[in-house]
A = this chain, B = another copy of it.
């Protein structure tokens, strides 16, 4: 690999000290405009790009953040969330000179170990905590490690900075939609209850139904997979008092549910209405097209990156309060910092997208 040009050569060409080059190129004061221009010119001529290796050692920063995906590879395959989420992270990290280090853990404890090693080797300046579990062990871990971290859609009282996207408003819209269609018997195909986001969705659903004076009905726990949705359909559709409207915790499960309903000869939406959550592309193509809640993984990623960089660059403590996003996006007048403890941003809520899989109650 050809030897790259270093700061020394730039200094030589500009006829200044390397410290001046450093100051000039990082737009720090202490350099006259004339010299600064001359230095920038020299750097340009030479095609100088500072070595992140030297920079990290000296600046005590890795200029990288980590994301550990803890996931059965089988499930990851069809997960629509990550592509956009990572794209969102990247869109903020890259312009600010940070790289994203992606790791995959399979077993839960292995995942924890990944964080430990990332911190121990000073590989990253902070990490993103995604798919939070109830009492997620990663939270005390990063706190103990002193590793800056941000959460994505955490539970209330989460002690670190976090990005949230509200689900309750969208779920209320869904419930109103279903109620207005005359439905009375409801069911929910939930995600694993150990996940915070699964819990959020069940709770929003129950609360919205209760607020509408409806019986929340059954909750069947599935696992966010297509196959899980199918099994839930077998269960629910076999019941004598089967529901007329089903809300699945994600689109993949909803599509699995619809497929199985079709197989069992139960027509959607004539005999049963089905709604999903996520707003994945596929939902627009299946027959009938899936009614769902559109989320913003890309925006979640971008905001998560912003918060993380704020925590990293401004202080560094894991529990340190990150700056709150611009007020325009903060929901319903809630003081996000006070409400959550760790500070954070709330992005636009998930919205209901009505398509063909929900319709009037049968009969």
A residues at B contact (CB < 8 Å): 1-2, 4, 47, 49-54, 56-57, 62, 64, 71, 73-74, 76-80, 82-84, 86-87, 90-91, 94, 99-104, 114, 117, 120-123, 145-148, 226-227, 230, 256, 259, 262-263, 280-282, 285-287, 298, 316-317
A73 CB, min distance to chain B CBs, angstroms: 5
Q: Which residues of B contact A285 (CB under 8 A)?
A: 226-227, 230, 256, 259
Q: Are A121 and B280 in contact (CB under 8 A)?
A: no
Q: Are A73 and B78 in contact (CB under 8 A)?
A: no
Q: Are A51 and B121 in contact (CB under 8 A)?
A: yes
Q: Which residues of B contact A50 (CB under 8 A)?
A: 121
Q: Are B83 and A79 in contact (CB under 8 A)?
A: yes
**Residue among A86, A91, A259 with max Cβ neighbours from chain B (10 Å):** A86
Q: Are B104 and A101 in contact (CB under 8 A)?
A: no
| Identity of the chain B residue whose Cβ is nearest the Cβ of A2 in the assembled complex | B146
Q: Are A99 and B103 in contact (CB under 8 A)?
A: yes
Known: A1-B317, A49-B117, A99-B101. 7 other contacts (CB 8 A): A1-B316, A51-B121, A51-B122, A52-B122, A73-B298, A226-B285, A263-B287
A248 CB, min distance to chain B CBs, angstroms: 15
| Identity of the chain B residue whose Cβ is nearest the Cβ of A97 in the assembled complex | B121
CA distance A54 to B122 in the complex (A): 10
**Residue among A103, A114, A230 with max Cβ neighbours from chain B (10 Å):** A103
Q: Are A120 and B54 in contact (CB under 8 A)?
A: no
Q: Which residues of B contact A146 (CB under 8 A)?
A: 1-2
Q: Which residues of B contact A298 (CB under 8 A)?
A: 73
CA distance A121 to B100 in the complex (A): 14
Given known contacts A1-B147, A99-B101, A121-B49, is B287 in contact with A262 (CB within 8 Å)? yes
CA distance A83 to B86 in the complex (A): 12
Q: Which residues of B contact A100 (CB under 8 A)?
A: 101-103
| A77 in complex: contacting residue of B71, B83, B122, B286, CB < 8 Å | B83
| Identity of the chain B residue whose Cβ is nearest the Cβ of A147 in the assembled complex | B1
| Identity of the chain B residue whose Cβ is nearest the Cβ of A278 in the assembled complex | B77
CA distance A33 to B300 in the complex (A): 53
Q: Are A78 and B282 in contact (CB under 8 A)?
A: yes
Q: Are B78 and A80 in contact (CB under 8 A)?
A: yes
CA distance A281 to B230 in the complex (A): 14
Q: Are A77 and B77 in contact (CB under 8 A)?
A: no
Q: Are A280 and B78 in contact (CB under 8 A)?
A: yes
CA distance A10 to B212 in the complex (A): 65
Q: Are A281 and B73 in contact (CB under 8 A)?
A: no
CA distance A117 to B90 in the complex (A): 14
